[in-house]
């Protein structure tokens, strides 16, 4: 029996997608073997790759002057790839906003290859908010400006898009495809797949094509966006199954009404949970109201000695993976696209019942 899965990543996948993959597993498209067992250069797989790209372009209205890349090494690989790809055109310094653990990892990695200016940080209040736009000023000669629109661990989401002069780079690992985005405001968008796209093992990159000529001269081949773009993301063998499954998710998203429909649903799901948290004295949200994530909702119990019991009983009630990140404790419910409204209804009703019995 499938349960409601609130895991932060690898996360829930749409059930119809899993069913289709199951049906096609042994004999994919009449080929006589699975999609995992054909050449990535075969006409059949080429169609998968091309359709996945086109569907993603349609979903996010990606302009023609942007390349779509299917990358390896996860979002973490891009923490390194970003400075390697963008520090070669003069400036070797970049602006970063520090909003929590993922931003920090990106900052540390970039700092190995150039100078990082942390233009704003929310460390003063334990990374519980997104710094306001008037709280920081970008530096003059930055090669790019990096931020994390949604901090998956802290559950903090930017309510605005930074307006900056250098190419804007965004780690959208946990928010991509949950709402429309004005791609033309960005230089580079990237996301590990295992939150809101597909299985782990693949990452998506969307890069403005004029940024493909700014790499450091001795960039490792496997990190080069230009090499990836010129080789249709197949400079080496790509993770074909993850690519195929991501493609099925894109088609499922289109059938659901695309990112507009996902935005409306995300709003509804997260609002239901936040409203419940705000009405309760038993539970609370540690995140500033205006920066609350629609994708990852951390919450704490007023009496944390009940945490263990909460997790045990929620698991028994068919609500999976509500434990908060090991670094922050408490609980976290991740509400990605594949998590249905009924999952949040079940969660809220369990939480109300748990409060009644233990409050
Ligand atoms: C999960 C996550 C990452 C790390 O992704 P990997 O694919 O494991 O490297 C980076 N940034 C954010 C915002 C994430 O949520």
Residue with token string 């963008």? 86
226 is catalytic: no
CA distance 160 to 326: 28
C-alpha distances in Å from residue 336, one per residue of 100, 194, 263, 293 = 20, 10, 11, 11
Q: Is 174 in the pocket of ligand 1 (CB under 6 A)?
A: yes
| Position 81 pLDDT exceeds 90 | yes
| Position 162 pLDDT exceeds 90 | yes
Q: What is the pLDDT of residue 356?
A: 97
**According to the annotation, is 152 in a ligand binding site?**
yes
Q: Model confidence at 257, in pLDDT bands (50, 70, 90)? A: very high
- Average pLDDT value for residue range 329-335: 96
Which residue has the CA at smallest separation from atom 4 of ligand 1? 75
Tokens linked to 33: 């073997």
Mutate to test the pocket of ligand 1, among 9, 193, 336 (most ligand atoms within 8 A of CB): 9
Using the atom order of ligand 1, give the atom closest to the CA of residue 192.
7
Select which of 67, 195, 269, 323 is catalytic.
Answer: 195
| Position 136 pLDDT exceeds 90 | no
Query: What dihedral angle (degrees, nearest 10) is formed by the CA atoms of 251, 257, 261, 266?
Result: -30
Q: What is the pLDDT of residue 245?
A: 98
Q: Would you say the pTM of this structure is higher than 0.85? A: yes
Q: Model confidence at 40, in pLDDT bands (50, 70, 90)? A: very high
Q: Model confidence at 329, in pLDDT bands (50, 70, 90)? A: confident
Mutate to test the pocket of ligand 1, among 174, 178, 204, 334 (most ligand atoms within 8 A of CB): 174
Q: Model confidence at 231, in pLDDT bands (50, 70, 90)? A: very high
95 is catalytic: no
Tokens linked to 286: 């540690």
Gap from CA of 94 to ligand 1 centroid (Å): 20
DSSP assignment of 138-205 equals: --TT-S-EEE-SEETTTTEE-SS----SSPEEEE-TTTTTSS---GGG-SEEEEETTTTTSSTT-EEE
Q: Is 173 in the pocket of ligand 1 (CB under 6 A)?
A: yes
**Going from the N-terminus, what domains does the chain have, and what CATH number goes with each?**
15-256 (3.40.640.10), 258-358 (3.90.1150.10)
Gap from CA of 203 to ligand 1 centroid (Å): 10
CA distance 325 to 103: 16
| Position 237 pLDDT exceeds 90 | yes
Q: Could you tell me which of 86, 97, 294 has the C-alpha nearest to residue 187?
A: 86
CA distance 232 to 70: 8
- Average pLDDT value for residue range 226-249: 98
102 is catalytic: yes
pLDDT digits (tens, 9 = 90+) for 111-122: 999 999 999 999
| Position 328 pLDDT exceeds 90 | no
Q: What is the pLDDT of residue 135?
A: 85
- Average pLDDT value for residue range 216-231: 97
| Position 1 pLDDT exceeds 90 | no
| Position 359 pLDDT exceeds 90 | no
- Average pLDDT value for residue range 183-208: 98
**According to the annotation, is 148 in a ligand binding site?**
no
Query: How confident is the prediction for the chain on average, in pLDDT?
Result: 97
> 3-state DSSP call for residue 26?
coil
| Position 332 pLDDT exceeds 90 | yes
3-state DSSP of 3-25: CEECCCCCCCCCHHHHHHHHHHC
CA distance 106 to 80: 8
Task: Describe the crossing of helices 341-358 and 307-316 by its angle, rounded to 10 degrees.
Answer: 130
Select which of 28, 171, 226, 252 is catalytic.
Answer: 171
Report the percentage of the chain scoring pLDDT > 70: 100
Report the percentage of the chain scoring pLDDT > 90: 97
Gap from CA of 76 to ligand 1 centroid (Å): 6
Q: Is 76 in the pocket of ligand 1 (CB under 6 A)?
A: yes
């Amino acid at each position: 029996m499938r349960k409601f899965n609130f895991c932060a990543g690898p996360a829930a996948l749409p059930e119809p997608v899993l069913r289709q993959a199951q049906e096609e597993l042994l004999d994919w498209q009449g080929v006589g073997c699975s999609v995992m067992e054909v050449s990535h250069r075969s006409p059949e797989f080429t169609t998968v790759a091309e359709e996945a790209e086109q569907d993603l372009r349609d979903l996010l209205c990606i302009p023609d002057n942007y390349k779509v890349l299917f990358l390896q090494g996860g979002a973490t690989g891009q923490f390194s790839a970003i400075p390697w790809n963008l520090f070669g055109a003069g400036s070797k310094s970049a602006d970063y906003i520090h909003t929590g653990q993922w931003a920090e990892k990106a900052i540390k990695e970039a700092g190995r290859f150039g100078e990082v200016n942390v233009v704003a940080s929310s460390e003063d209040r334990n990374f519980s908010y997104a710094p306001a736009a008037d709280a920081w000023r970008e530096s003059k000669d930055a090669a790019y400006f990096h931020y994390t629109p949604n901090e998956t661990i802290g559950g903090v989401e930017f309510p605005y898009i930074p307006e900056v002069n250098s190419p804007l780079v965004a780690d959208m690992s946990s928010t991509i495809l949950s709402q429309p985005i004005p791609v033309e405001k960005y230089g580079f968008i990237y996301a590990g797949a295992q939150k809101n796209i597909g299985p782990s093992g693949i990452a998506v990159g969307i890069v403005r094509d004029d940024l493909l000529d700014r790499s450091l001269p001795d960039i490792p081949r496997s990190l080069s966006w230009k090499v990836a773009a010129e080789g249709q993301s197949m400079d080496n063998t790509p993770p074909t199954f993850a690519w195929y499954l991501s493609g099925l998710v894109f088609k499922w998203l289109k059938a659901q009404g695309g990112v507009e429909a996902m935005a409306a649903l995300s709003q509804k799901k997260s609002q239901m949970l936040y409203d419940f948290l705000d009405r309760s004295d038993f539970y609370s949200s540690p995140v500033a109201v205006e920066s609350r994530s629609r994708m990852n909702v951390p919450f704490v119990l007023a009496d944390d000695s009940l945490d263990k019991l909460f997790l045990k009983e929620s698991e028994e009630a068919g609500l999976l993976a509500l434990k908060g990140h090991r670094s922050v404790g408490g609980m976290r419910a991740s509400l990605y696209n594949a998590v249905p409204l009924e999952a949040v209804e079940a969660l809220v009703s369990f939480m109300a019942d748990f409060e009644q019995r233990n409050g």
